[in-house]
């Protein structure tokens, strides 16, 4: 029997009482608590997972987001390390690319050139870019962020909102039930949005395909770059896995410099598993037959 619930803590209590054999989510900031000796340490199963949480900018309907300087400023201004280390605290890693580490046959290295800067330097550059684009104290950039009403987005988006406020941006948050939120994303009924993607299969293309100009409703930002598309086409016809990985990394680096999305963190799988369940082996795909 499957019992869906948006409340991870209620599900956690049901696992502890023996009413559920497992739950495939844990509120991130409770993982350290649950691992204490007198809690549920043997139940907590976490592992590197092939998934990325990110912010989407709607370039189709929002003129401000057609300006590269604005998109770059917004993604630079997010304090990812604060989010992963102080808020989530579940093993998540700060993300600067769409494709997470650990994906098969992929060299990585697609981070934008500013990813290695200090947060203070990124904030200063974000302010400069916004001013150059015409935004400042007398004319602040204002927009709404639609977000899923599940535990992690509800925890981190007030922090992202504060990061943007620090560089002069006024963002309002609009939580929605996840299914409704994704319907809005697919129909472009949003200005900026909280989204995530978990790999369908262990290959970089499961992420990069979504930024193709012909990806349809899943290309939430309506990213269109013929050179990017051409690199993905070339990779599709490449038999050498090393060269294919290099071509895909080149395409991703281009998309990250274009800042069509703002990666925030890489996921970990977070499962509470009763000791009655045997054969549970953590793996990057989080598949448990």
Q: How many CB atoms lie within 10 A of CB 139?
A: 11
Task: Please report which helix (H) or strand (E) contains residue 40, including its range.
Answer: none
In the prediction, which pLDDT does 282 show?
A: 87
Query: Model-level pTM?
Result: 0.89
Q: Where are the alpha helices (DSSP H) in the chain?
A: 8-16, 31-34, 68-76, 80-82, 119-132, 151-166, 178-186, 205-208, 226-236, 241-258
Across 91-118, b (16+ Cβ under 10 Å) vs e yields bbbbbbbbbbeebeebebebbbebbeee
In the prediction, which pLDDT does 204 show?
A: 96
Each residue's pLDDT tens digit, 102-153: 899 999 999 999 999 999 999 999 999 999 999 999 999 999 999 999 888 9
In the prediction, which pLDDT does 6 show?
A: 77
Residues 6+ apart with CB under 8 A from 213: 219, 223, 224, 225, 226, 228, 229
Whether the predicted pLDDT of 55 surpasses 90: yes
Each residue's pLDDT tens digit, 226-279: 999 999 999 999 999 999 999 999 999 999 999 999 999 999 999 999 999 999
Residues 6+ apart with CB under 8 A from 240: none
In the prediction, which pLDDT does 40 show?
A: 95
In terms of DSSP bridges, do strands 169-176 and 141-148 run parallel, antiparallel, or are they unpaired?
parallel
Q: Are 121 and 55 in contact (CB under 8 A)?
A: no
Each residue's pLDDT tens digit, 8-29: 899 999 999 999 999 998 988 8
Residues 6+ apart with CB under 8 A from 152: 27, 28, 53, 88
Each residue's pLDDT tens digit, 59-103: 999 999 999 999 999 999 999 999 999 999 888 999 999 999 989
How far apart CA 181 and CA 17 sit, in angstroms, is 32
Task: Give the bridge partners for 169, in sequence order.
Answer: 141
Backbone angles phi, psi at 50, to 5 degrees: -90, 75
Each residue's pLDDT tens digit, 167-226: 999 999 999 999 999 999 999 999 999 999 999 999 999 999 999 999 999 999 999 999
Place of tokens 């869906």: 4
In terms of DSSP bridges, do strands 44-57 and 192-198 run parallel, antiparallel, or are they unpaired?
antiparallel
* For helices 68-76 and 119-132, angle between their N-to-C axes, nearest 10 degrees: 160
In the prediction, which pLDDT does 31 show?
A: 92
- What DSSP string describes 228-260? HHHHHHHHHT---HHHHHHHHHHHHHHHHHHTS
């Amino acid at each position: 029997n499957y019992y869906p619930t948006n409340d991870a803590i209620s599900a956690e209590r049901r696992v502890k009482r023996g009413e559920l054999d497992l739950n495939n989510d844990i509120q991130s900031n409770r993982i350290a608590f649950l691992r204490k000796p007198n809690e549920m340490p043997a139940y907590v199963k976490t592992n590197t997972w092939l998934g990325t949480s990110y912010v989407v900018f709607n370039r189709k309907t929002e003129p401000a987001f057609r300006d590269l300087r604005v998109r770059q400023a917004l993604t630079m201004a997010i304090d990812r390390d604060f989010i992963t280390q102080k808020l989530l605290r579940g093993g998540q890693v700060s993300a600067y690319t769409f494709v997470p580490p650990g994906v098969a046959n992929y060299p990585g290295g697609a981070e934008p050139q500013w990813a290695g800067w200090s947060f203070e330097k990124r904030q200063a550059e974000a302010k400069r870019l916004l001013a150059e684009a015409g935004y400042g104290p007398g004319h602040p950039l204002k927009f709404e962020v639609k977000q899923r009403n599940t535990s992690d987005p509800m925890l981190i988006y007030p922090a992202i909102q504060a990061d943007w406020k620090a560089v002069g941006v006024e963002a309002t948050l609009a939580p929605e039930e996840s299914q409704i939120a994704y319907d809005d994303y697919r129909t472009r009924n949003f200005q900026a949005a909280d989204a995530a993607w978990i790999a369908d299969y262990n290959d970089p293309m499961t992420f990069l395909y979504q930024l193709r100009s012909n990806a349809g409703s899943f290309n939430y930002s309506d990213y269109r770059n013929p050179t990017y598309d051409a690199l993905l086409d070339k990779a599709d016809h490449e038999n050498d896995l090393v060269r294919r990985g290099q071509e895909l990394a080149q395409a991703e680096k281009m998309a990250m410099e274009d800042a069509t999305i703002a990666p925030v963190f890489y996921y970990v799988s977070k499962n509470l598993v009763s000791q009655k369940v045997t054969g549970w082996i953590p793996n990057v795909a989080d598949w448990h037959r």
